[in-house]
């Protein structure tokens, strides 16, 4: 795409940026973060210049994402049942059983249709070499789909000609994709979205998606389990059966009788209802074992093992200090690598060796030697900068893409996505929890 064509396509949203951001503010499109023990709610900074992906590029991304998520779902079923991938020596058992995401309480549970990750958020970057690289797989409670969805809606209001005059795939089908996904796994009853409440970072998204999918938005005190069936209390004193629960709280807080007993936001005996096949929990508890950053290294091998195919999308070049050869490489090249703590998320626990002093590098080497399973190391991918508007000027910033893959009767990729960018010119970290902003993602139809 030429620069002139790009500027022509994006001129209207840029010209109406103030109106779009005012609509986002008025409708409370916010993102909350905890900082120094205090909850702060803030507007999620929106940039009007969209990321544009050609139809040809998207077809390749789509095939690669479907392949990857299908393999990850097969891995999750295998790990909680036969464990063939361990028996055959493809994935070392150390990377499963000592993962913080592996939950022995989920052993032997088969979710409806054997789907574990119904909504997968896969983070990619486009390298300057033209290749797309997977950075992370998010299979627990990935957030973010609502932001480009509502931003597109407001951009359409402010700049209707941008969409009538250009071949942009309509992204309003996300609600239908999500509802189809919930319905496919539903065990009989209504669909519900479980939120921990308005002080959660993604509460806007919980309420927005509930409205868009005709699901009920519930908190734990509205729910109870009776005879291994999950119900919602009604205002008249009755009860309504829930067949699919799209939970937006972490595994450890889901059921105080199974996981963390001090949880005040969970539902007692939920896991018994789930184990009995009376409710689908979306995404399934225990998925964290598959999006552990240490397991990420093995996903191309999973694709080969389960599907007999070569991975279409590449991982970032990754090293596991767990292996002596990789550990030696990491210790020698730590100043050129990015080190990630496998237990952290949201941009936390990411250390760029180039930013550390000699003393810090030495301390980090010792930590890696003592706790090799705790870390992965990756080469720093020189991924593409995208233009953003900063104080009225167009500047370039690092940006990634969170693609959303929904698994139901078939596995489908939403032709849109959340493009996140760093507002810091010197940073590769784009996470909203680290102060990043977002922009819409336009996929061209031809």
Which uninterrupted H or E stretch holds 324? helix 324-333
Q: Which two tokens stand for residue 280?
A: 């689908």
pLDDT digits (tens, 9 = 90+) for 248-268: 999 999 999 999 999 999 999
Q: How far apart are CA 260 and CA 138, in angstroms?
A: 22
Which of 291, 298, 286, 289 is CA-nearest to residue 89?
A: 298
Residue 189, CB-side half-sphere exposure with 13 Å CA sphere: 22
Positions in the chain whose pLDDT score sits under 70:
30-42, 345-347, 426-435
In the 8-state DSSP scheme, what is residue 304? I
HEC string of 97-130? HCCCCCCHHHCCCCCHHHCCCCEEEEEEEEECCC
Q: What is the pLDDT of residues 175-221, one digit of tens each?
A: 999 999 999 999 999 999 999 998 887 888 999 999 999 999 999 99
What integer pLDDT is reported at residue 324 of this predicted model? 94
Tell me the residue length of the chain. 446
In 16-140, alpha helices (H): 17-26, 55-79, 84-87, 94-97
219: exposed, middle or buried (C-beta count within 10 Å: 0-12, 13-18, 19+)?
middle
CA separation, residue 95 to residues 293, 361, 368 (Å): 10, 25, 16
Helix (H/G/I), strand (E/B), else coil: 411: strand
- 307: DSSP letter: I
Instruction: Specify the pLDDT at position 430.
Output: 65
- The alpha helices in 167-323, defined as continuous H runs, are 174-185, 203-212, 270-275, 288-291, 293-296, 299-302
- Residue bearing tokens 């409806």: 112
pLDDT given at position 347:
65
Q: Tell me if 421 sits within 8 A of 384, measured CB to CB.
A: no
Phi, psi of 64 (to 5 degrees): -65, -40
Task: Specify the 3-state DSSP secondary structure of 264.
Answer: coil
- Rounded Cα distance, 406 and 356, in Å: 40
Evaluate whether 437 touches 423 at the Cβ level (below 8 Å): yes
pTM of the model: 0.93
Could you tell me if 128 and 383 are in contact, meaning their C-beta atoms sit under 8 angstroms apart? Answer: yes
pLDDT of residue 311: 98
Name, in order, each residue with C-beta under 8 angstroms of 183's C-beta and a sequence gap of 6 or more.
Answer: 191, 244, 408
pLDDT at 132: 95
pLDDT at residue 302, rounded to an integer: 98
Residue 252 makes CB contacts below 8 A (sequence gap 6+) with: 259, 260, 263
What is the rounded CA–CA span in Å between residue 61 and residue 297?
19
Largest CA distance in the chain: 67
DSSP structure class, residue 204: H
């Amino acid at each position: 795409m030429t620069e002139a064509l790009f500027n022509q396509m994006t001129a209207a949203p840029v010209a109406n940026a103030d109106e779009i951001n005012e609509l986002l503010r008025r409708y409370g499109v916010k993102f909350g973060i905890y900082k120094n023990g205090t909850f702060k709610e803030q507007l999620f900074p929106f940039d009007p210049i969209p990321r544009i992906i050609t139809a040809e590029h998207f077809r390749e991304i789509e095939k690669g994402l479907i392949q990857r998520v299908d393999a990850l779902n097969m891995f999750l079923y295998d790990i909680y049942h036969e464990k063939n991938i361990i028996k055959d020596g493809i994935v070392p058992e150390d990377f499963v059983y000592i993962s913080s995401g592996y939950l022995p309480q989920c052993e032997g549970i088969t979710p409806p249709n054997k789907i574990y990750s119904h909504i997968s958020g896969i983070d990619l970057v486009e390298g300057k070499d033209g290749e797309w690289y997977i950075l992370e797989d998010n299979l627990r409670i990935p957030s973010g789909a609502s932001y480009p969805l509502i931003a597109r809606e407001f951009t359409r209001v402010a700049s209707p000609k941008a969409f009538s005059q250009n071949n942009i795939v309509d992204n309003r089908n996300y609600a239908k994709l999500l509802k189809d996904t919930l319905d496919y796994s539903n065990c009989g009853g209504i669909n519900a979205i479980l939120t921990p409440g308005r002080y959660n970072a993604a509460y806007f998204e919980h309420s927005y998606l509930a409205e868009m999918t005709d699901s009920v938005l519930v908190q734990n005190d509205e729910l109870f389990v009776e005879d291994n069936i999950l119900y919602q209390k009604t205002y008249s004193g009755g009860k309504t059966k829930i067949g699919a629960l799209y939970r937006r709280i972490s595994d450890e807080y889901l059921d105080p009788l199974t996981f963390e007993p001090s949880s005040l936001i969970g539902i007692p005996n939920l896991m018994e209802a789930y184990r009995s096949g009376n409710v689908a929990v979306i995404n399934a508890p225990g998925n964290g074992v598959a999006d552990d950053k240490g397991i990420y290294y093995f996903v191309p091998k999973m694709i080969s093992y389960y599907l007999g195919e070569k991975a279409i999308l590449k991982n970032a070049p990754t090293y596991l200090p767990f292996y002596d050869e990789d550990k030696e490489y990491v210790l020698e090249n730590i100043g050129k690598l990015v080190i990630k703590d496998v237990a952290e998320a949201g941009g936390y626990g990411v250390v760029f060796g180039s930013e550390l002093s000699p003393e810090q590098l030495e301390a980090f080497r010792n930590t890696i030697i003592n706790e090799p399973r705790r870390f992965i190391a990756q080469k720093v991918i020189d991924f593409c900068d995208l233009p953003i508007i900063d104080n009225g000027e167009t500047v370039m910033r690092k940006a990634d893409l969170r693609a959303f893959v929904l698994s139901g009767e078939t596995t489908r990729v939403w032709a849109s996505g959340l493009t996140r960018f760093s507002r810091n010119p010197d940073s590769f970290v784009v996470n909203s929890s680290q102060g990043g902003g977002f922009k819409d993602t336009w996929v061209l139809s031809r």
